[in-house]
Structure 1
Amino acid sequence: MFPICIIIAALALTGASGLVSAQRPSTTSGQAYPSKPIRIVVPYSAGGPIDLVTRPLAQKLTDALNNPVVVDNRAGANGIIGIDHVAKSPADGYTLVVGSVGSFAINPNVYSKLPFDVLKDFAPVSLFVTVPELLVVHPSLPVTSVKELVALAKARPRQLNYGSSGTGGTPHLAVELLKQAAGIDIVHVPYKGMGPATMDLIGGQVQLAFADLPVLLPHVKAGKLRALAVSTPKRSPNLPDVPTLAEAGFPRIDVKNWYALFVPAMTPKNIIGVLNAETVKVVARNDMKTFLQDQGGVATTSTPEELAALLRAELAMWAKVVKTSGVKLQ
């Protein structure tokens, strides 16, 4: 007969192991999740702004899940190639994609046909960062405020031009939104990415741009560009002296980029729950918050339901901007 203390210890261990197994959901094959490497597909090239903030997230998720989480760059066609790859991947929680305003909310409105439907082919997991858009001009332009820029553009219609990352991207349509709100007419000069657009802006070939703050911030700090406004309701801690567009007289322009995790549709809800919970915990860490702020972003998380609602709202908002601007891509 076993001593009573041994029986109690055995029961305690059994209960503890049951608790651990309950916290690790199973896949459809019955394996505990996760049990193999998880891929986060970044549908753009390595070294870009999305890649830059996704890599530390993946590393911290690796530590949190005690399981490898790796970044897989699959660039091409304005993010479409990588996103389509994930849409057609198994819905088992091992393949995620980083969606953004451009790839998930604008592309469906500017492209006449996509090989996927962002609402039907994906399930939201969580936001992990929001990024203000920053309106900047070349220092030679005789304006120091949005009000002065609008006045100059009205006095010189179609004589000012702005650079963007390409037709249909956020930096293009953010200016289109400003044009519609301010009643100005400035000329769009599309580039193959914000890198070359920014270099030409610094060189004076174009006069202004409206793009992700992290892309433009170093050049503002260096005095090579002049910041006029940020697009978010609150000022950026990175540029506390730069007013918001609302302060500049355009309260209806609330444009920001965001990066969020999505999985293929039909991924089990318990697995989405694990990914959401761990993402929220990781992004809430002080070191992650500091890193994202240093890059010009704001650590931001959500429930899957909140992200779904945000995506629907953004799709509707950008549909109106695209319709008014007449932008359409094949």
Structure 2
Amino acid sequence: MRPHRRHVLAGLGAAGFSGLAPARAQTWPSQIIRLVVPFTPGGSTDVLARLIAAKLEQVIPGRGFVIENRPGAGGMTAAGQVAKADPDGHMLMMGHIGTLAFAPSLYPNVPYDPVRDFQPVALVAMVPNILAINPQLPAKTLGEFIAHARAHPGKLNYSSGGQGSAAHIATAYLAHRAGIEAVHVPYRGTAPSVNDLVAGNVQFTLTGGPAVLPLAEGGQLRVLGVANRERVGFAPNLPTLAESGLPGFEAVQWYGVVAPARTPRPIVDRLNRAINDLLRQPDFAAALARDGAIARPETPDGFGALIASELTLWRDVITRAGIKAAE
């Protein structure tokens, strides 16, 4: 998901701007810090933002944090606004894989550039996708599933929460890597897509754990693997897809805090330390795990490298599969 930012202080020379940065950092925060969520309340991005903001208020003295929900255009409206905000550390955004990695390849006119227009602050959480199938399929392992799909090209359907959604793109990536042909069936949200998987109207999906693991425990679905680099603590007996026959395969959703480009580095580093300290707390990490998420402390530069690499990976996947956002 990606902004092209114009220089906010265009009238100032580079030397003038760099001279302001230390002063801004010394007086920060001087007002309420707004953490923008580019979606409606109640979703995963919103929940994570509120958890983070509540904890940061306890360790960063000042006038506190406020969550601002600014839905619209798949998150691009808010992202474009944050990209153009004053880079003084008082406006942040809870970004995620959609706004920072998918959007530039899904939409023709994205009002921001995820690399050029944002300063990465802190990676917060990774949500590994899990391959779930309808139990009527004669497959109990990834290898058996791939063999069955290859023997029936174009006959299997996979569901997602919508055209251009994370599950759509991740499952298209899985199909490409596995060398199988399948038909995408988009739904209006994850819940109805999983419900139809249980009913047998579609045969598989690759989506976040919270949507499918409880149903697998009840025998309504069968899970074959997790699309993470390593096994996950909330499902330790579930093999990775990489170890099950797709070497190097990884498809995770991720969330992280970003600021407008040119936000002073001392402010960025202070926020990064505070967020990482929170992520390392066992109770906080356990709370994330209950929702199928993995706390992932990271440096600002490390988060930036992730955004850049994900942009490249998913651009190739989206282009190859001919995926377009819903109109």
Deviations 1:118-145 (A, max 9, x none): 1111110010111111110122323222
Q: Secondary structure at the match of 2:27?
A: coil
Q: Distance in 2 between matches of 1:203 and 1:69?
A: 44
Runs of 4+ in 1 over 3 A off after TM superposition: 25-31
Contact 1:45 1:74 in 2 (8 A): yes
Between Structure 1 and Structure 2, how many residues are aligned? Answer: 306
Q: Distance in 2 between matches of 1:57 and 1:291?
A: 12
2:165 matches 1:169: yes
Which residue type is aligned with residue 104 of structure 1? Answer: L
Deviations 1:202-234 (A, max 9, x none): 333222110122333333333332111100121
Alpha-carbon deviation of 1:27? 7.7
Q: Distance in 2 between matches of 1:210 and 1:132?
A: 9
2:72 matches 1:113: no
Contact 2:21 2:264 in 1 (8 A): no
2:230 matches 1:234: yes
Identify the range of structure 1 (50-59 vs 274-283) with the bigger mean alpha-carbon deviation. 50-59
Q: Secondary structure at the match of 1:317?
A: helix
Match for residue 54 of structure 2? 59
Contact 2:229 2:248 in 1 (8 A): no
Match for residue 32 of structure 2? 37
- After superposition, the Cα gap between the structure-2 partners of 1:42 and 1:215, relative to the gap in structure 1 and judged at 3 Å, is farther
Which residue type is aligned with residue 167 of structure 1? Answer: Q
Identify the range of structure 1 (83-92 vs 118-127) with the bigger mean alpha-carbon deviation. 83-92
2:183 matches 1:187: yes
Q: Distance in 2 between matches of 1:36 and 1:130?
A: 30
Match for residue 148 of structure 2? 152
Q: Distance in 1 between matches of 2:71 and 2:118?
A: 19
Match for residue 9 of structure 2? none
Match for residue 3 of structure 1? none
Q: Distance in 2 between matches of 1:131 and 1:118?
A: 20
- After superposition, the Cα gap between the structure-2 partners of 1:154 and 1:29, relative to the gap in structure 1 and judged at 3 Å, is closer
Which of 173, 195, 201 pairs up with 1:199? 195
2:244 matches 1:248: yes
What's the TM-score once normalised by structure 1's chain length? 0.86
Which residue type is aligned with residue 162 of structure 2? Answer: G
Segments of 5+ residues of structure 1 without an aligned counterpart are 1-24
2:322 matches 1:326: yes
Q: Secondary structure at the match of 1:242?
A: coil
- After superposition, the Cα gap between the structure-2 partners of 1:85 and 1:195, relative to the gap in structure 1 and judged at 3 Å, is farther
- After superposition, the Cα gap between the structure-2 partners of 1:205 and 1:28, relative to the gap in structure 1 and judged at 3 Å, is farther
Contact 1:164 1:171 in 2 (8 A): yes
Q: Secondary structure at the match of 1:82?
A: helix
Match for residue 141 of structure 1? 137
Match for residue 264 of structure 1? 260
Which residue type is aligned with residue 117 of structure 1? Answer: D
- After superposition, the Cα gap between the structure-2 partners of 1:73 and 1:221, relative to the gap in structure 1 and judged at 3 Å, is farther
Q: Distance in 1 between matches of 2:138 and 2:93?
A: 43
Q: Distance in 2 between matches of 1:239 and 1:147?
A: 20
Q: Secondary structure at the match of 1:132?
A: strand
Q: Secondary structure at the match of 1:147?
A: helix
What's the TM-score once normalised by structure 2's chain length? 0.87
Deviations 1:273-304 (A, max 9, x none): 22111111111112111111111111111111
2:96 matches 1:100: yes
Deviations 1:28-85 (A, max 9, x none): 6687221322122221222222222222111111111134223222223222122122
Structure exhibiting the larger radius of gyration computed from Cα positions: 1
Alpha-carbon deviation of 1:161? 0.7
Q: Secondary structure at the match of 1:267?
A: coil
Q: Distance in 2 between matches of 1:311 and 1:70?
A: 25
Deviations 1:128-176 (A, max 9, x none): 1111111101223232221121122122222211111222222112111
Alpha-carbon deviation of 1:26? 8.2
Identify the range of structure 1 (280-289 vs 36-45) with the bigger mean alpha-carbon deviation. 36-45
Which residue type is aligned with residue 168 of structure 1? Answer: G
Identical amino acids, percent of aligned pairs: 37
